[in-house]
Amino acid sequence: MLFDSDKIYIGERIKESRKNKHLTQFMLAEKVGLHEKQISRIESGQNYPTLQSFFKIIDTLDMDLNDFSKESNTIKSPLKNSLIEIINSANDTELKIYSDILKPLRKNLKNINV
């Protein structure tokens, strides 16, 4: 059985790979024969791709099914996993503080294209 968290996880993996390939949502959509909005919905976890679209997307992005394994993601990004552990162990007060610090930091980093 698939859950909303699975949709989000699948979308995040696709988005991460697309960005690593320096593709926009529009460019990926053109390559796989979907509308840009559909790519956006998939990446944001609002929709699942059809099986046919899923395989077109992963072929276009040179991904394989192992890229969607949560175990392989753990191996690929220890820093991200470390941050996730911190967040998962935080209480609501700590989460609010982290959020208040990270949101403006992230915005500033985007503004300087990091």
CA distance 77 to 90: 20
26-to-18, 30, 53, 55, 78 alpha-carbon distances in Å: 11, 6, 15, 18, 30
Domain ranges for the chain, please list them: 4-70, 77-111
CA distance 34 to 28: 8
The answer to whether 58 touches 15, Cβ cutoff 8 Å, is no
Q: Share the mean pLDDT of the chain.
A: 87
CA distance 43 to 53: 13
CA distance 40 to 28: 10
The answer to whether 36 touches 25, Cβ cutoff 8 Å, is yes
Per-residue pLDDT tens over the stretch 64-113: 888 887 765 544 567 877 787 788 888 999 989 999 999 889 888 878 87
| CATH superfamily of domain region 4-70 | lambda repressor-like DNA-binding domains (1.10.260.40)
Percent of the chain with pLDDT over 90: 55
The answer to whether 14 touches 42, Cβ cutoff 8 Å, is yes
pTM for this predicted structure: 0.60
